[in-house]
Every structure is written in C-alpha cells, then in structure tokens.
C-alpha cells in the first residue's frame, strides 16, 4: 500500500536570516539521499503577487523556474540541493492567495457568505499546500518571516489546521531558532528559543524538532534544558552550527541525527542515507589547486543576495576546474573608459550579469570593450549580452550612439529592441507587446529551446545542438542588425527553433567572449556545474597566473 504524503512545516523564530531556506533545502537533500521523493514549497507573507516586481535590493534575486514563475530566491536553494521539479505552485505569497480568494468572491463563488481570513484564506492556503503533494513522499513547506510577525499569522493558522486536516501522523513541525553565545557570560543562552517556542505554542503549534542555529555545538546539558522548557525530546534538539560551505549543511544535520528523527516521527521506513557524492564534492572543493579572479560588473554589487544563483554557479564552475573563484564586485557606475584598465586590472575574467534600467550602463559597456580589446574572457548574461551587442555595434561596426531601446528610445541604431511580435515556442502562440504592456509577469519568462551552432564556444560547452534555458527579459537582439554583426566578426551561436530570436552571441578571434539571452545560472548544480560557467572559468584560468597558496 502506498504511504500517504507526509508534510514537514518549517518555521523560523527570534530573527530573520537564520537560514530557513537553506535548512529546508538541506532537509530535502537528506530525505532524497534516503531514497524518498520530495518537493519544497515556500509560503511568503508579503502582498506582492510574486517577487518579480520587487527591487533586488529589497528582496534579493528573483529565481525563475522552468514554467516561467518569478519566485523567491529560496527556491534556488531547493533546486540546487534536491531533484525537485519546481513550478508556480512551489511559491505562494499572501498576495497570490488573496488575489485568488478575491477573484472567487467577485465571480460569486461564495455568494451569500461573508468572506473571512478563517476559513476562506486559510482554506485557500491549505489547498495551495496540497497542490504540490501529488507523486511525492514528503512535502517540505517553509513559512517565510519570523514568528511574531503579524503578516504570517494566516499561514501559521493554516499549517496549525493541517495537523488535523492531513492527519497527525503525517505532519511534523520544525522550528529554526537562535541560540546565541554571550561573550561576557561565557555561555550560550536558550531564553530566545524558549520565548520563540512559547509564541509558536500560543498560536497552537507545538514544534516536534528544534533546529538551533549557533556558532558552536550545543552540549548535552544545553540540549536537555531546551528540551525541558520547549517540550521537545532531547534527540530532537539539533545543533545547526555555522558552516563555511553551505553544501556542508546536510552533512552537519545528518551528524546531529536530523534525518533519522524526521523519518522516525513521520513513521517512514527508508534505506540509510547515501551521502558519498556530496562528501566527495565538499572534499574536492576544499582541496582546489588554482585560483581565479572574476570581476562582476553590475548594479546591485552591495548586496550579494541579488546574485545568489550567479555566485553559486561560479563556485560550481570553479570546483569543476579545481579552482577557487575570487569574486570582485564592481559598481558599474564607478567605471569609465579612463578607469577601466585600473578597475579591472586584477580580473582574469569579466562577467556582466542580468539587470534592468539605465543606471550604470555606460560603465558596463566600457568593461565589455576592455574585455574584447584585451582578450579577457567575457561572459554576458541577458543584460550582459545586450551590453556586448551595443559595444560591438558602437566600436566595431561604428554605429554611433547604438543602444538598446530600454535605455534610449530615440537611438538611431536600436540594436536591442522591444520585439513587437514574436512566436512563443513555449505556448505555440504569437506574442505582442509594446511600451504600454503591464509590467508584472509579462516578460519572456522561463524555459525556451535554443539551437546551437556547431563550431562555437557554446557548442564546445554544451556538446549538443539543442538546449533549453530559462529567460527573464523584455528586450531582444534586433534582427535588422544581424548581418552587420556577423560580417564584422560576431558569431550568432544560438537561436530559437524558428531562427527569429538570437539567444547567444560570440565574437571571433577572442579566447572566450560569449553573451547569452538566458540565465544559465539558474540551472547550475554543485555536482552538475553549468557548462557555460565551467568553460568561462576554464578560459579565465588560462588567463590567470595565480594558484592557491
Ligand atoms: N533589462 C533587460 C530586458 O528586460 C535585461 C533583463 C535581464 O538581464 N534579465 O530585456
């Protein structure tokens, strides 16, 4: 007989940034290593329908899934740590829940009734949770925010009800809390944890397992104290110690007995966890022999959360090349043609990541020119492709003031433009857009097929002629300029199946210069590094004289 789907609800206490997303992902990895199938869902308490319209300064990276959903960056952790296939159903915000309830109310679905948080909103949340359960053994649901926030109350009420709704044998609650070491007292303190659990119990949720984030291992005495005050068994008090490398988190949890406790509480029989591959990856990453320096020339350089997947993909590409990757973030607003050589002196490779808006564009163009002329490996991602095309048009084809319509609507040479009409291979329909189109969820989003041309850097990397990568952009390369680009030494390395959308541009006579219209960083995995990142790092390494000291 098939077991019913089991549910793990993960909440956070005391303060934010304790690593709830990573912990949920690591739990998923451990359960998969025992042979279970898992999925992970994030419930976010804010009102935006999705994070797509939010500034990366506020919210960090927007992670894009294959189906084109713009989601929370924690979904990036989930995908990097597990094999779960994530979609729009893996991320719900309060806005999305309310939007759906209000749409139903307007349609008349609740005619005669007063629509309320309980039961209408909570029922909607519970149905959203159940949406991802089909075909998986365990659903992990992470609740965003911290216990005590007003905003997350409907979500907490909904997961409280799940205990009865889904069956008490099928549900456990895991609470991530903080156990600080107080220097002046010379000991760790459990009071914040006690208060946080008290607050959670006030809402009606008794945690089954406590993940205690701390900078040191908790002694048996401390665990016993937490156990006593929080009504959790001693072996369910898990030390979540700080780690140097995030991929060590599952190993640390396993050592503390987390996966054993989870399967015991959920009453599932599994094989022993198989963690050899992950252990080998950690070992390899700790003994790399080389060092390479990559300059990321972007706008959100003060906040590395904005480039989460990018940083991870570079790290994966580094390990694959037996190399440490030293990242230097350069604010493109501070670069000019005169300062470029100085600013980028240390860079063995230059990367211009995705981005929106005009600010810092000219600095990025200078960086691309510097990379092209000095034969420094260049990797342009989405906006980074646009930058490479503008630079090439201006300085090689000599189209003065060539630009993207995104930055200059009156440019005489709109080499990047808003394509008014294009065939969408994903939906099989013609798409139309202009400057008045709505901003939310209207970009070219999610996985699109791309045909790779033989003999290109892209073909060398992928080794196949047909790929699928994820997109998130409005503007495209203008086909009017394609012949000119090619006759001046640019190579169109990849196009959509109908040949109309340029997906990759490279340039000849350069060690490695590639811009792509998609975001390869979303698909890189520690044990399966993305081929473009791997080859970019390889090319940068050839340009580097450093090795790990
Ligand atoms: N701003 C550009 C566009 O919308 C590039 C987007 C991106 O880099 N993701 O087309």
DSSP letter string over 106-135? HHTTTTTSPP-IIIIIHHHHHHHHHHT-TT
Q: Is 1 within a domain?
A: no
Q: Is 392 left (phi over 0), alpha (psi -120 to 50) or beta?
A: alpha
Is residue 355 lining ligand 1, measured as CB closer than 6 Å? yes
Is residue 354 lining ligand 1, measured as CB closer than 6 Å? yes
Closest ligand 1 atom to Cα of 384? 8
Contact between residue 490 and residue 507 where contact means Cβ atoms under 8 Å apart: yes
Is residue 356 lining ligand 1, measured as CB closer than 6 Å? yes
Q: Do 292 and 273 belong together in one domain? A: no
Poorest-confidence range of 52-61, 253-262, 278-287?
Answer: 52-61
Residues paired with residue 172 on neighbouring β-strands, in sequence order: 8
Is residue 475 lining ligand 1, measured as CB closer than 6 Å? yes
Ligand 1 midpoint to CA 347 (Å): 24
Ligand 1 midpoint to CA 177 (Å): 38
382 labelled catalytic:
yes
pLDDT at 301: 60
Contact between residue 196 and residue 210 where contact means Cβ atoms under 8 Å apart: no
pLDDT, greater one: 110 or 433:
110
Which residue lies with its CA nearest to atom 7 of ligand 1?
Answer: 354
State which of 259, 281, 303 marks the end of a domain. Answer: 281
Whichever domain contains 151, its CATH number is 3.40.50.300
Range of the domain at 36: 6-281
Q: Is 503 within a domain?
A: yes
Question: Does the pLDDT value for residue 548 go beyond 90?
Answer: no
In three-state secondary structure terms, 20 is helix
Examine residue 44 and say whether the peptide bond preceding it is cis (omega within 30 degrees of 0).
no
> Mean per-residue pLDDT for 273-298?
95
Is residue 34 lining ligand 1, measured as CB closer than 6 Å? no
Is residue 407 lining ligand 1, measured as CB closer than 6 Å? no
State which of 229, 262, 281 marks the end of a domain. Answer: 281
Cα–Cα distance measured from residue 121 to residue 134, given in angstroms and rounded to the nearest whole number: 22
Contact between residue 181 and residue 214 where contact means Cβ atoms under 8 Å apart: yes
Q: Do 268 and 304 belong together in one domain? A: no
Q: Is 335 within a domain?
A: yes
pLDDT digits (tens, 9 = 90+) for 295-321: 999 986 666 678 899 999 999 999 999
Question: Does the pLDDT value for residue 428 go beyond 60?
Answer: yes
What φ, ψ does residue 261 adopt, rounded to 5°? -65, -40
Cα of first residue to Cα of last residue in the chain, in angstroms, is 57
Q: Quick one: tokens of 289?
A: 């022999």
Residue at token pair 């791309």: 450
pLDDT digits (tens, 9 = 90+) for 429-465: 888 877 676 665 578 999 999 999 999 999 999 999 9
Which residue lies with its CA nearest to atom 6 of ligand 1?
Answer: 473
Question: Does the pLDDT value for residue 507 go beyond 70?
Answer: yes
pLDDT at 424: 85
Global confidence as pTM: 0.93
Question: Does the pLDDT value for residue 189 go beyond 60?
Answer: yes
Q: Is 170 within a domain?
A: yes
Q: Do 298 and 154 belong together in one domain? A: no
Find how far residue 186's CA is from the centre of its chain. Answer: 38
Closest ligand 1 atom to Cα of 381? 8
Provide the domain count of the chain.
2
Q: Quick one: tokens of 128?
A: 């959203």
Whichever domain contains 484, its CATH number is 3.40.50.880
Q: Do 145 and 204 belong together in one domain? A: yes
Closest ligand 1 atom to Cα of 472? 9
Which residue lies with its CA nearest to atom 8 of ligand 1?
Answer: 354
pLDDT at 441: 57
Kindly report the average pLDDT of the chain as a whole number: 93
pLDDT at 544: 84
Q: How confident is the model at residue 55 (pLDDT cuts 50, 70, 90)?
A: confident
Q: Do 492 and 536 belong together in one domain? A: yes
Ligand 1 midpoint to CA 473 (Å): 4
Cα–Cα distance measured from residue 21 to residue 448, given in angstroms and rounded to the nearest whole number: 27
Q: Is 547 within a domain?
A: no
Per-residue b or e along 244-281, where b marks 16 or more CB atoms closer than 10 Å to that residue's CB: eebbbbbbbbbebebbbbbbebbebebeebebeebeeb
pLDDT at 106: 95
H or E segment to which residue 429 belongs: strand 429-432
Q: Do 170 and 235 belong together in one domain? A: yes
Q: Do 273 and 302 belong together in one domain? A: no
pLDDT at 288: 95
pLDDT digits (tens, 9 = 90+) for 411-426: 999 999 998 888 888 8
Q: Is 103 within a domain?
A: yes
Tell me the best of 386, 388, 522 to mutate to test the pocket of ligand 1, counting ligand atoms within 8 Å of each CB and taking the most: 386
Contact between residue 511 and residue 420 where contact means Cβ atoms under 8 Å apart: no
With a CB cutoff of 8 Å and minimum separation 6, the contacts of 398 are none
Q: Do 127 and 73 belong together in one domain? A: yes
Q: Is 549 within a domain?
A: no
Ligand 1 midpoint to CA 455 (Å): 27
Tell me the best of 357, 364, 383, 439 to mutate to test the pocket of ligand 1, counting ligand atoms within 8 Å of each CB and taking the most: 383
Closest ligand 1 atom to Cα of 356? 1
Q: Is 167 left (phi over 0), alpha (psi -120 to 50) or beta?
A: left
Question: Does the pLDDT value for residue 274 go beyond 80?
Answer: yes
State which of 232, 262, 281 marks the end of a domain. Answer: 281
pLDDT digits (tens, 9 = 90+) for 361-370: 999 999 999 9
DSSP 8-class letter at 454: T
Is residue 470 lining ligand 1, measured as CB closer than 6 Å? no
Contact between residue 514 and residue 532 where contact means Cβ atoms under 8 Å apart: yes
β-bridge pairing 444-452 and 429-432: unpaired
Is residue 144 lining ligand 1, measured as CB closer than 6 Å? no
Q: Do 522 and 389 belong together in one domain? A: yes
Cα–Cα distance measured from residue 272 to residue 260, given in angstroms and rounded to the nearest whole number: 9
> Mean per-residue pLDDT for 388-404?
98
Is residue 472 lining ligand 1, measured as CB closer than 6 Å? yes
Number of neighbouring beta carbons within 10 Å of residue 322: 15
Residue at token pair 């889904």: 166
pLDDT at 439: 62
Is residue 382 lining ligand 1, measured as CB closer than 6 Å? yes
Q: Is 231 within a domain?
A: yes
Question: Does the pLDDT value for residue 478 go beyond 60?
Answer: yes
Q: Do 240 and 292 belong together in one domain? A: no
pLDDT digits (tens, 9 = 90+) for 120-132: 999 999 999 999 9
519 labelled catalytic:
yes
Question: Does the pLDDT value for residue 48 go beyond 80?
Answer: yes
CA distances to 110, 118, 229 from 114, rounded to whole Å, are: 8, 11, 41
Q: Do 382 and 490 belong together in one domain? A: yes
333 labelled catalytic:
no
Per-residue b or e along 147-174, where b marks 16 or more CB atoms closer than 10 Å to that residue's CB: bbeeebbbbbbbbbbbbebbeeebbbbb
Q: Do 245 and 297 belong together in one domain? A: no
């Amino acid at each position: 007989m098939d077991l019913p789907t089991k549910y793990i609800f993960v909440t956070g206490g005391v303060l934010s940034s304790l690593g709830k997303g990573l912990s949920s992902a690591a739990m998923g990895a451990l359960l998969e290593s025992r042979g279970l199938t898992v999925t992970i869902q994030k419930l976010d308490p804010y009102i935006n329908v999705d994070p797509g319209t939010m500034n990366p300064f506020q919210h960090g990276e927007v992670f894009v899934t294959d189906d084109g959903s713009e989601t929370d960056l924690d979904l990036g952790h989930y995908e990097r740590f597990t094999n779960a296939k994530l979609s729009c159903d893996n991320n719900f915000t309060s806005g999305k829940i309310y939007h759906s309830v209000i749409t139903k109310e307007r349609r008349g679905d609740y005619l005669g009734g007063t629509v309320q948080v309980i039961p209408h909103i909570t029922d909607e949340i519970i149905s959203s949770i159940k949406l991802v359960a089909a075909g998986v053994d365990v659903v992990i649901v992470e609740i965003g925010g911290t216990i005590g926030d007003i905003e997350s109350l409907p979500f907490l009420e909904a997961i409280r009800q799940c205990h009865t709704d889904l069956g008490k044998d099928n549900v456990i609650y895991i609470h991530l809390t903080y156990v600080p070491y107080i220097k002046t007292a010379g000991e760790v303190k459990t009071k914040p944890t006690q208060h946080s659990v008290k607050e959670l119990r006030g809402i009606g949720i008794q945690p089954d397992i406590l993940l205690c984030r701390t900078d040191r291992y908790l002694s048996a005495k401390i665990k016993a104290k937490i156990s006593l005050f929080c009504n959790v068994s001693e072996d369910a008090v898990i030390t979540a110690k700080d780690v140097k490398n995030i991929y060590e988190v599952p190993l640390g949890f396993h050592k503390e007995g987390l996966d054993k406790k989870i399967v015991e509480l959920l009453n599932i029989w599994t094989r022993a966890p198989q963690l050899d591959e992950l252990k080998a990856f950690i070992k390899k990453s700790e003994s790399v022999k080389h060092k390479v320096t990559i300059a990321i020339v972007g706008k959100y350089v003060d906040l590395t959360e904005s480039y989460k997947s990018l940083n991870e993909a570079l790290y994966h590409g580094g390990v694959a090349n037996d190399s440490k990757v030293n990242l230097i973030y350069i604010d493109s607003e501070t670069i000019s043609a005169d300062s470029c050589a100085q600013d980028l002196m240390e860079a063995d490779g230059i990367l211009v990541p995705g981005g929106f808006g005009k600010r810092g564009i000219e600095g990025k163009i200078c960086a691309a020119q510097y990379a092209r002329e000095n034969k420094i490996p260049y990797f342009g991602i989405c906006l980074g492709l646009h930058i490479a095309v503008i630079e090439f048009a201006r300085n090689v084809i000599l189209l003065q003031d060539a630009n993207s319509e995104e930055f200059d609507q009156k440019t005489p040479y709109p080499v990047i433009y808003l394509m008014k009409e294009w065939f969408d291979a994903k939906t099989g329909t013609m798409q139309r857009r202009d400057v008045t189109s709505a901003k939310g969820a209207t970009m070219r989003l999610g996985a699109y097929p791309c045909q790779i041309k033989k003999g290109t850097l892209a073909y060398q990397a992928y080794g196949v002629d047909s790929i699928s990568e994820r997109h998130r952009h409005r503007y495209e390369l203008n086909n009017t300029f394609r012949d000119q680009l090619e006759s001046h030494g640019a190579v169109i390395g990849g196009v959509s199946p109908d040949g109309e959308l340029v997906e990759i541009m490279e340039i000849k006579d350069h060690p490695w210069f590639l811009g792509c219209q998609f975001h390869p960083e979303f698909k890189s995995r520690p044990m399966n590094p993305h081929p473009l990142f791997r080859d970019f790092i390889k090319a940068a390494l050839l340009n580097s004289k450093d090795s790990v000291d």
